[in-house]
Chains A and B, each alone.
Chain A
Amino acid sequence: MNASRTLLLIGGTSDIGRATALCYAQAGWRVQLAARREEEARRNADDIAVRTGSEVTVHRLDVLETGQFESFIEGLPQLPDTVVCVVGELGDQQRGQTDLAHATQLLRTNFEGPALLLGSFAERFLERGSGTLVGVSSVAGDRGRGSNYLYGAAKAGFTAFLSGLRNRLAPAGLRVITVKPGFVRTQMTAGLKLPPVLTAQAEEVGRAIFAAAETGKSDVIYVRPVWRPVMMIIGSIPERIFKRLRL
């Protein structure tokens, strides 16, 4: 029965997107990869198709072009069963503090685009009466920090959006899953020094997303469970102390 199921992966050129799409294709799903850079997405599509024998298509999408969302969805070969959005841009916090265009781009890429797009799919899924939505948010959205609060604030908004959407869709039996990967070794974090215990590989994130969406019951997952207590501690530090920490 899986043979007829379709995944739409938004962010098809990212390492997490590639790994997630591969997991679904290995399980026999048809895959639609959406990305801004079609040629780069084509590399992943070819690779996944050869490895798994699944059908993989590529669809151009820029999450900043919100006006194109409706025609993008209408243009898909079929309405997917599951949509996973892994879009994210860490950006440059310091630059964003004075460069409003950059700050705006970070807010829109990490919040506005992904939220509105998943929202559009939610309406169609409600109408059809089935569908699963997965949003990759971030632990950075759990509490704003001086070093990345533009990114963090956008992810916090996305987390809140997913939470609200879940609340609204649950009575209809539709699932909305929030994924907080923690640190991941990817193109986005290349060159950063990351603590190994807290740092997942992209493949790990892909497997976790597939497991959470297709077999699990959790609504909000941390890819590495160690992040749950870590974020609980970070969340419980009183603001008068937190504001003086250099984070």
Chain B
Amino acid sequence: MTELSGWGRYPRHPSDVLSPSSPSAVPPFIASHTGLVSRGNGRAYGDAAIGEQVTLVTRRLDRIRAFDPATGRIRVEAGLLLADLLDVMVPKGFFPPVVPGTKFVTIGGMIASDVHGKNHHRDGGFGDHVESLTLALPDGGVAACSLTENGDLFRATIGGMGLTGTILEATLRLRPIETGWMRQQTIVASDLDAALEALRATADSTYSVAWIDCLAKGPSLGRSLIYAAEHATHREVDALRPGAKAFPPSRSGRLSVPLDLPPFALNRRSVAAFNEMYFRAGALKAGYPFLVHWNPYFFPLDGIGDWNRIYGRRGFLQYQCVVPTAHAGPALRSLLDRISHRGFASFLAVLKQMGPGHGDLSFPMEGFTLALDLPVSESVFPLLDELDRIVVEAGGRLYLAKDARQSPATFEAGYSGLPRFRDLRRAIGATGRISSRLSARLGI
């Protein structure tokens, strides 16, 4: 038994851990265990990748099996790290169609969580770009799945949190890029309305996202910096940074948080000071397009190893909700109002527009998503329950890959595809056999 937790280090549960060395070793493990779920690199924040009894770690299924430069089509094993894929493919002029906020996730985890990126409003979720996958089933069989073959199983597996079986391999299309640079433009929004407007206005951009100051109150409530970006062309690189290499190497030097910070290190004042500084520094750059390397643009926090330790030993919660466009303004205002008044320190708060979603348990829906980090404390749970009520009332839902604490009622209210997902689980014999702490907590 090993004590496992997600990236938020809350909650922690004991589990047996299996680590198959090959896709062919997975089906016998699944057939001979119960209360099992697979886990990639453990970057889901809460309890999604902790088996009720057994956790099957896929990290050793990390081979790239085929790549066609003519089409960008790539076939990989599910335990391949996105970071590894980027290292190999960016210098060849290819970029994943969708990347989340960290590159330390596996391809299998990206499918199971149907991760979204800064381009969701245009390109959809990661699952939209998966052409096919192979899935190890609860009965020890293996199924090839795509929209045309085992379509129901395919759709349920995308965003299905590993609860339909273990993804072994996936085939997807990468997008060609001319350079490894991003052409970024920053827009300053002085309040929430301006931020939403700026996100709508930048919807033509491939990538757009807002960093939002959760501690700003009153007339500044929701003040944000909006980052819009495109993959830079050769011509843009020549114009903005003459002589720069098309594919500059990533800097390998990493800072890291060497120890758990004590609980008082992050407080209202220290985070407010950080936010003020960050906002002003960002505002200075506003207006002019500039070049930034893909790595810090997409994965700013990956530069700081073990950044989850800044929240101390008790861990932290990430709260990410999405609310439909129709109710987004008022709902986001009341969410931010609650958060800023309580003064919970959150470094990382992100606001983003989402396009339509699909899939039974897949998170995205057309609207706006807000994500923030909160250190674990007694008083944070009642606040989040309050936020849940606002989200549910607005017809929104919470992201399962981030969740560690929502109630079954909140969950059921948000996911209308749940009954169908449960039916499918029963039909393939997954109910009770493929189960995580999350699925047990939420009754999936």
Instruction: Indicate whether B416 reaches chain A with its CB closer than 8 angstroms.
Output: no
Interface residues of A in 198-243 (CB under 8 A from B): none
> Which of A38-46, A81-89, A106-114 forms contacts with chain B?
A38-46
Interface residues of B in 31-68 (CB under 8 A from A): 60, 63-67
Q: Which single residue of chain B is at the shortest CB-CB distance from A42?
A: B65
Instruction: Indicate whether B383 reaches chain A with its CB closer than 8 angstroms.
Output: no
Task: Check A39 against B63 for contact (C-beta < 8 Å).
Answer: no
By a CB distance below 8 angstroms, the chain B residues around A51 are: 64, 88
Other-chain residue from B22, B60, B66, B88 in contact with A46 (beta carbon distance below 8 A) = B66
- B60, B64, B88: residue with the most chain A Cβ atoms closer than 10 Å: B64
Q: Tell me how far the C-beta of A201 lies from the nearest C-beta in chain B, rounded to whole angstroms.
A: 13
In angstroms, Cα B24 to Cα A40, docked, is 9
Task: Check B22 against A40 for contact (C-beta < 8 Å).
Answer: yes
Other-chain residue from A39, A40, A46, A190 in contact with B64 (beta carbon distance below 8 A) = A46
Instruction: Indicate whether A187 reaches chain B with its CB closer than 8 angstroms.
Output: yes
Interface residues contributed by chain B, number (CB under 8 Å): 13
Q: Which single residue of chain A is at the shortest CB-CB distance from B61?
A: A43
Chain A interface extent, by class = 10 to 19
Instruction: Indicate whether B206 reaches chain A with its CB closer than 8 angstroms.
Output: no
In angstroms, Cα B22 to Cα A187, docked, is 11
Interface readout for A10-51 with B: 1 if CB under 8 Å, 0 if not?
000000000000000000000000000001100110110011
Task: Check A39 against B24 for contact (C-beta < 8 Å).
Answer: yes
Task: Check A50 against B88 for contact (C-beta < 8 Å).
Answer: yes
Instruction: Indicate whether B377 reaches chain A with its CB closer than 8 angstroms.
Output: no
By a CB distance below 8 angstroms, the chain A residues around B74 are: 50
Q: Tell me how far the C-beta of B197 lies from the nearest C-beta in chain A, rounded to whole angstroms.
A: 44
Task: Check B64 against A47 for contact (C-beta < 8 Å).
Answer: yes
Task: Check A50 against B24 for contact (C-beta < 8 Å).
Answer: no
By a CB distance below 8 angstroms, the chain A residues around B66 are: 46, 50
What would be 21 A-B contacts, judged by CB atoms less than 8 Å apart? Answer: A39-B24, A40-B24, A43-B22, A43-B63, A43-B65, A43-B77, A44-B63, A46-B63, A46-B64, A46-B65, A46-B66, A47-B63, A47-B65, A50-B64, A50-B66, A50-B67, A50-B74, A50-B88, A51-B64, A187-B21, A190-B19
Measured CB to CB, the residues of B under 8 A from A are: 19, 21-22, 24, 60, 63-67, 74, 77, 88
Please list the 5 inter-chain residue pairs (A to B) with the smallest Cβ-Cβ separation, ordered nearest first: A47-B63, A50-B64, A50-B67, A43-B63, A46-B65
